[in-house]
Structure 1
Amino acid sequence: MNTKIYECMKEVFETNTPFSNFLGVKVLLDDAQNPYLRLDMQPHCIGNYMQSILHGGVISSLLDIMGAIVAVEGVISRMADEPKENIMKKFEKLGTIDMRVDYLRPGRGTFFIATGEAMRTGNKVSVVRTKLKNNENTLIAAGTGTYMVG
């Protein structure tokens, strides 16, 4: 992934989005330069305090944020040579149309990783599949989302 595009993603999804910032979401790149999210378990993310597990709303939020990143990446990846202002403009049209989450296991872990892949990206809409795993690489939840990208 182009450095400029990665920096734009970090700025939008990690720094400028208040809810992502509140959760403590970090936008990172794997060895193949694919974006992913990391969230360290924190007290404000716990849903069931007796079991100390991740709140279902936090799980769905991570999958939604990851879906949005993958969706917009399909559009802005072609803009590597354009000015940052043009790339940032593309984020204005981004929005979740529909999302489904399958909660597979309780959200136990010290940190969580969200990944995703585009199933189809068009000029206006992108469909994305996402996964959330814990620090032991256990699949916690999976999601499918449809995003407005243009």
Structure 2
Amino acid sequence: MSGAHAKPPVVFEPEFVTGLRKIFEEMIVFNQTLGLKIRTLEPEQVIGRITMRPELVGHYSYNRVHGGVISAGLDAMGGLAVMAAIGARHMDEPPEQRLHRFA
């Protein structure tokens, strides 16, 4: 395959990243409850973090995070990956219009 036909990498505008972060971290109340924060938001990679706290303990003897927290975090991050992919497919639209898809 020739490099001449390769598409340049998609880079999100700061407005899109800020807006999607607000939706994900602040407007989705369950993500707030988990304490889920976005560390990286790119079209092909999303990374999140949940800071351990006592309310998330599932095994009191070992102080381990509850499995439901892990599965909910994975589910939410999968949703964020889909949102990022959708945003990347519509770069011809302004950031505000792309964000409206998730409101």
* TM-score interval for Structure 1 and Structure 2 normalised by the shorter chain: 0.7 to 0.9
Match of 1:35 among 32, 35, 46: 46
**Structure 1 runs (4+) greater than 3 angstroms displaced:** none
Matched, 1:69 2:93: no
Higher relative contact order (CA 8 A, sep 6+): 2
CA distance 1:80–1:7, change in 2 (3 Å): farther
The match for 1:45 is: 56
Question: How far, CA to CA, are the matches of 2:90 and 2:16 in structure 1?
Answer: 8
CA distance 1:81–1:8, change in 2 (3 Å): farther
When the two structures are superposed, what TM-score results if normalisation uses the length of structure 2?
A: 0.74
Secondary structure at the aligned position of 2:75 is classed as helix
Count of aligned pairs between the two proteins: 91
Secondary structure at the aligned position of 2:93 is classed as coil
Question: How far, CA to CA, are the matches of 1:85 and 1:5 in structure 2?
Answer: 7
Query: How far does residue 79 in structure 1 lie from its aligned partner after superposition?
Result: 3.0
Higher strand share: 1
Give the alignment's Cα RMSD to 1 decimal.
2.2
Contact 2:25 2:38 in 1 (8 A): yes
Give unpaired runs (5+ residues) of structure 1: 93-150
Matched, 1:60 2:63: no
The match for 2:97 is: 86
Query: How far does residue 80 in structure 1 lie from its aligned partner after superposition?
Result: 3.5
Write the letter of the residue equivalent to 2:47: Y
Matched, 1:26 2:37: yes
Query: How far does residue 51 in structure 1 lie from its aligned partner after superposition?
Result: 1.3
Write the letter of the residue equivalent to 1:71: V
Contact 1:47 1:56 in 2 (8 A): yes
Query: How far does residue 81 in structure 1 lie from its aligned partner after superposition?
Result: 4.8
Contact 1:14 1:20 in 2 (8 A): yes
Query: How far does residue 73 in structure 1 lie from its aligned partner after superposition?
Result: 1.3
Question: How far, CA to CA, are the matches of 1:38 and 1:80 in structure 2?
Answer: 27
When the two structures are superposed, what TM-score results if normalisation uses the length of structure 1?
A: 0.53
Matches for 1:126-137 after TM superposition, within 5 Å? none
Structure with bigger gyration radius: 2
Question: How far, CA to CA, are the matches of 1:15 and 1:24 in structure 2?
Answer: 10
Higher helix share: 2
Question: How far, CA to CA, are the matches of 1:82 and 1:10 in structure 2?
Answer: 18
